[in-house]
Structure 1
Amino acid sequence: MATSTVDRPADLTVDAATLIRDIEQYLAQQAPRTAHPLVTKTTAQLVTEALQQPASETTTPAPELTAPARWLKILPNWTLAILPARRAHGAGRQITVTQHLELTALVLQQYGHHRGGLRSLSGRRCILGAQAVLYRLGYGDEHTAEEACRQIQNVLRRRGIDEPYHQWNDRSDRELDDVLLLIRDAANHSRDNA
């Protein structure tokens, strides 16, 4: 069984819009809080609201994606860059290396783990494939992704493993739990060094 190490219920599908919603929820929890405890919105939220059009001039929200979630999950990664949800939420959004690593784990948990390539035909991802999803959705930039790669590789070196992490991911005995532990160790190390 070289394609995946995770058995997922057939009715559990994750589309890009759902993934973006979960990423945005995670990032909202990470947002800096205002100085006064009685103020529940961040400064960025208050500024955004102040710049929005009055309620009488608001536009109709974009319709929900009608394509089946399975199709959105298995489309090539480059198509993620043109999704309406990506343009609305993720386009060009800067994130920290720690956030990139934690979101990589989120993608793997939702899409499933894959060995032997960036992605499987069913949409499961390897570590590098999960990082590509984030990049294509507009979360972070090349520098963020490259530094996250270095953090993952550093954790492997501390464990005495010299092979590149994408080869480590592809080993036949690699399980999702192993991969998540590696990524979370890298995220913790990144947080400690920030």
Structure 2
Amino acid sequence: MAASTVIRPADLTVDAASLIADIEAYLAQQAPKTAHPLVTKTTAELVAEALQAPDVELEQTAPTLTAPSRLWRIIPDWALALTPARRLHGAGRTITVTQHLELTALVIQQYGWHRGGLRSRGGARCILGAQAVLYRLGYGDEATAEAAGKRMQNVLRRRGIDEPYHAWNDRGERELGDVLHLIREARNVSDG
């Protein structure tokens, strides 16, 4: 096992409820905004057509999450499933593989990045550990996490790397930027 390396954000002041609220805000932002459930165009597209204006593109901004408090970062991952906010907002929430990958990167940014295990004593997470946080909070299911893992694995294969992405994460020369780049590159790959 590689030596443990932890990289953490400096200001960690909120709890899992805030993390869940931020994830919910991101997911709401990603939902198509249509005038009626049977209408396939978004409201912005319909307005643009009506005004004979050029197509209006919906802004796709990356979500902003607030870092969880130290307590929420260090409790066992199974306990995340018991949080009141998870039961209220996240239980069984379906997300896409692309959303899972974006949120995985954000969990790493907020909890801190770790190599040498799923998590550090201080709560920093590796890629798999960040995926586990999302799963335990009820965002996506095993199939979503596995599909995201396959995307990351395919990106590594295209780079000529055959080791599993979780082993790649743990290599001594790996840095936070490498990990985030892999996740975000996989986010932009289609499942085709």
Report the number of matched residues. 163
For normalisation by structure 2, the TM-score amounts to: 0.79
1:69 and 2:69 are equivalent in the alignment: yes
Conserved? CA contact 2:169–2:179, under 8 Å: yes
For normalisation by structure 1, the TM-score amounts to: 0.78
Instruction: Return the offset for 1:151.
Output: 0.4
Conserved? CA contact 1:100–1:148, under 8 Å: yes
1:94 and 2:101 are equivalent in the alignment: no
1:7–1:123 Cα change, 3 Å: closer
Conserved? CA contact 1:14–1:110, under 8 Å: no
Structure 1 distance, partners of 2:171, 2:127, is 12
Q: Helix, strand or coil: the match of 2:7?
A: coil
Instruction: Return the offset for 1:37.
Output: 4.1
Conserved? CA contact 1:104–1:134, under 8 Å: yes
Structure 1 distance, partners of 2:14, 2:122, is 11
Q: Helix, strand or coil: the match of 1:189?
A: coil
Q: Which has the higher helix share?
A: 1
1:76–1:7 Cα change, 3 Å: closer
* Counterparts of residues 8-157 of structure 1 (less than 5 Å): 8-9=9-10, 11-35=11-35, 36-37=43-44, 69-157=69-157
Structure 1 distance, partners of 2:163, 2:147, is 17
- Alignment match, 2:59: none
Could you report, residue by residue, the CA deviation over 1:4-52 in whole angstroms, capped at 9, with x for unpaired residues?
A: 352532x42453122212211211110111133499xxxxxxxxxxxxx
Structure 2 distance, partners of 1:180, 1:76, is 24
1:91–1:170 Cα change, 3 Å: same
Could you report, residue by residue, the CA deviation over 1:116-155 in whole angstroms, capped at 9, with x for unpaired residues?
A: 0000000000000000000000000111111111001000
Structure 2 distance, partners of 1:79, 1:98, is 26
Structure 2 distance, partners of 1:26, 1:142, is 21
Could you report, residue by residue, the CA deviation over 1:31-88 in whole angstroms, capped at 9, with x for unpaired residues?
A: 111133499xxxxxxxxxxxxxxxxxxxxxxxxxxxx921121000000000001011
One-letter amino acid matched to 1:89: H
Instruction: Return the offset for 1:101.
Output: 0.6
Structure 1 distance, partners of 2:174, 2:26, is 27
1:158–1:187 Cα change, 3 Å: same
| Percentage of identical aligned residues | 71
Conserved? CA contact 1:4–1:124, under 8 Å: no
Q: Which runs of 5+ in 1 are unaligned?
A: 40-67
Structure 2 distance, partners of 1:185, 1:81, is 29
CA RMSD of aligned residues (A): 2.1
Runs of 4+ in 1 over 6 A off after TM superposition: none
Conserved? CA contact 1:14–1:73, under 8 Å: no
One-letter amino acid matched to 2:189: H
Q: Helix, strand or coil: the match of 1:114?
A: strand
Q: Which runs of 5+ in 2 are unaligned?
A: 36-42, 47-67
Q: Helix, strand or coil: the match of 2:12?
A: coil
